[in-house]
């Protein structure tokens, strides 16, 4: 089974924890996560531990005991999650039409003419077989 296809969408709170873990670039403890969340979220330790348990159950995290603390490592790469989530969003919201997606951004003034030109150059390079 293609692992990228089986990646499920995360609720925002769990995604927020995964983003911190991916950014760390190494296994982390719940204490590390609590420190990073300080001032941004007022989640209790038990809330964070519940999110981590769910992430582990869903196959996003590996949990290892190190002495008396748990250490969390990502099992799914950030790049793989973003690709799956982007593909899912495009399918759900735009019936897999990149043109529809870009038009919605442009018409909604979410991208500038310069952004559109940059996207055009990127697509032209992809069409030539070059990858940025």
The model's pLDDT over 53-77, given as tens digits with 9 standing for 90+, comes to 999 999 999 999 999 999 999 999 9
Is the pLDDT reported for residue 123 higher than 90? no
Look at the block and give the residue holding tokens 């030539």: 128
Q: Does residue 129 come out as left (phi exceeding 0), alpha (psi in the -120 to 50 range) or beta? A: left
Percent with pLDDT over 70 in the chain: 94
Is the pLDDT reported for residue 2 higher than 70? no
Q: What is the pTM of this model?
A: 0.78
Task: Name the band, by pLDDT with cuts 50, 70 and 90, for residue 1.
Answer: very low
Q: Indicate the CATH number for domain 78-127.
A: 1.10.4040
Domain 12-74 fold: Arc Repressor Mutant, subunit A (1.10.10)
* Dihedral sign of CA atoms 9, 15, 19, 25 in order: negative
In the chain, which segments carry CATH 1.10.10.10?
Answer: 12-74
């Amino acid at each position: 089974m293609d692992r990228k296809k089986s990646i499920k969408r995360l609720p925002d709170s769990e995604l927020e924890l995964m983003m911190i873990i991916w950014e760390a670039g190494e296994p982390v403890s719940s204490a590390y996560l609590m420190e990073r969340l300080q001032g941004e979220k007022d989640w209790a330790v038990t809330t964070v531990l519940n999110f981590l348990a769910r992430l582990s159950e869903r196959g996003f995290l590996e949990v290892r005991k190190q002495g008396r603390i748990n250490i969390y490592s990502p099992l799914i790469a950030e790049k793989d999650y973003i690709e799956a989530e982007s593909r899912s969003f495009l399918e759900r919201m735009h019936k897999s039409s990149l043109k529809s997606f870009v038009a919605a951004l442009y018409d909604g003034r979410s991208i500038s003419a310069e952004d559109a030109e940059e996207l055009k150059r990127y697509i032209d390079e992809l069409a030539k077989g070059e990858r940025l």
